Structure formats: structure tokens, C-alpha cells
Amino acid sequence: MTLDLTTSAQDMTVSQSRFRNALLDPETPAPDGLVTPEGTHAEKRFGVYRNNVSHSLASALVDGFPVLTKLLGEAFFRQMALVYLRIHPPASQLIMHYGAAMPTFLVGFPGTVHLKYLPDVARLELALRRAYHAGDAEAIAPADLTQLDQATLMDTRLVLAPAVETLTSEFPALSIWEFNMQDGPTPTMQAETILISRRGYDPVAQRLPLGGAVFVNALKKGHAFGTALGLATSQVADFDLTATLSALIAGHGIIKIEKG
């Protein structure tokens, strides 16, 4: 595939792959055939463009990972972003989802490899972003849940909002997030299971009790209430259904009650 760059004097073509390679590697000179209106090699113009590409992508990462930026300091994060964007250039034109490979990148990046909790913080920030951009859905009136008798309830499917997902972290990922974003208390080491959802236009993250992710993910797969409850209690005998349902209701996570 070629990119036509027509000048007043002559028609020249630059291959798209060479343009892209030069864009991502500052050591590579501007591709031959890239010329100014005067017919000279457009080295400087290409350099400006190249810098703006990396600057804007690094800025997108700063915007998308505010807690990582705070944890690492913006100077470090921006330098790291320049490395990231060259290994993981955008795979989609949807810039709001840029940075999806950050969790795995952080595991291998020498400057962050010792901060074992960072990948889960990145996962949480990505999940909050996905929730922000997920489809709209109106939550049920919570009282509707109390209208079902036990037999009906077990066969009923609780349909969850598109924004709903869970994150299971062996670190206090949400406490770290709250510490940096909401002046929360200093995190102490503990595993956290997190429910991500959206209330109105605002993504929210809440803690789930043990087994909560199993229950929520079963509902998300379309399993009936009774099946989801069975899966959760088989893994966690004293599974806290009240706390899990309460988080789902508070997070506007249930959008439909489908009787079996």
C-alpha cells in the first residue's frame, strides 16, 4: 500500500510501512521521497510531526493512567510512555482505549519491575476507562428484587450493565487507587476483589467480598441467580450475598430481571 504525497513539481510516493517505521524510530531519518513544497527533503517537518505523535500519545497515557502517573511521577511516566508507545503503538483508532497493553508492559519494564502492584493498578484504571465508554443502561429499581419468591428467584437471570466487570488482585489495588485519587488511607497489604461499574456517567469501583467475583462473573455470563449463587458458595462457604448484591445495586449494575 502506498501513500501518495503529491507536490507541485512532481509525484512521489513513500511506502506506508517506511513512513510508519520512521515515525516510531527517531534514529531513522525521514523517508526518502518526503519533500517540502519547495522540493527539498522534509526532514525537519517530519521531525515535528514525529515529536507531536509521540507527545500526543504520551499525553493520552498520562490522561488515561492518572494513578500510575502519580505513583511513578510524571517525569518518569512520560519517559516510560515514550518506550511504551514505540513497542505498543495504537492498535485501534479509538484513542480512548489506548494503553491496553500497559499491565504486561509494566511487568517487564526494568524501571517498574520491582513495583509488583503496578500492573493491577493499571488494570483497574483500564477497567474504569472501559466502564466510562461502555454502553448506557438504566438500572432496575432495587425494590423489584424483593418481589420474587425463592423458587422464581433461583431460575431468574439478573442482567448486568455493559460497564460491569470484576478485578481480582492479590494487592490492594483499589486502596492504592483511593489513596492517590481520593485521599484515602495509606494502603495495607491485602488482596482485593473489585467491582467496576458506572453510576450515571461516573465509573465507580467498590470492594467485593470473597467469592463476589465468581457470583458477578456467573451472572455476566448469563447464568441464573441460583447457578451463580451455587458457584460462589461452592468456592466460599460463607459467601456474603448481601454485600455482593449491595455493591451491584449501589453500582447500578443490574439492568434487567429476566424470569426463567
Q: How far is the CB of 11 from another protein (least distance, A)?
A: 25
177 lines the binding site for another protein (CB under 8 A): no
Q: Which is nearer to another protein, 2 or 258 (CB)?
A: 258
170 lines the binding site for another protein (CB under 8 A): yes
Task: Tell me which of 2, 51, 104, 234 binds another protein, using CB under 8 A.
Answer: 51
129 lines the binding site for another protein (CB under 8 A): yes
- Please identify, among the stretches 6-14, 160-168, 201-209, 212-220, the one whose residues bind another protein according to the rule CB under 8 A: 201-209
Residue pointed to by grid coordinates 505498543: 88
Q: How far is the CB of 85 from another protein (least distance, A)?
A: 10
Q: How far is the CB of 82 from another protein (least distance, A)?
A: 5
12 lines the binding site for another protein (CB under 8 A): no
Residue count of the chain: 260
172 lines the binding site for another protein (CB under 8 A): yes
Q: How far is the CB of 260 from another protein (least distance, A)?
A: 15
Q: Which is nearer to another protein, 39 or 73 (CB)?
A: 73
Q: Which is nearer to another protein, 14 or 153 (CB)?
A: 153
Q: Would residue 183 be called left, alpha or beta, if left means φ above 0 and alpha means ψ between -120 and 50 degrees?
A: left
d(Cα 222, Cα 123) in Å, to the nearest integer?
24
Long-range contacts of 66-72 (CB under 8 A, 24+ apart): 66/125, 66/180, 66/181, 67/121, 67/124, 67/125, 67/176, 67/177, 67/180, 67/181, 68/102, 68/118, 68/121, 68/122, 68/125, 70/180, 71/115, 71/118, 71/121, 71/176, 71/180, 72/112
Distances (CA, A) of 243 to 67, 189, 239, 248: 27, 22, 9, 9
Q: Which is nearer to another protein, 12 or 199 (CB)?
A: 199
Q: Which is nearer to another protein, 133 or 221 (CB)?
A: 133
Distances (CA, A) of 119 to 84, 135, 168: 14, 26, 12
Q: Hey, which residues between 71 and 110 contact another protein (CB under 8 A)?
A: 71-77, 79-80, 82-83, 86-87, 95-96, 98, 108-110
Q: Which is nearer to another protein, 12 or 82 (CB)?
A: 82
Q: How far is the CB of 142 from another protein (least distance, A)?
A: 4
Distances (CA, A) of 32 to 14, 203, 227: 7, 47, 63
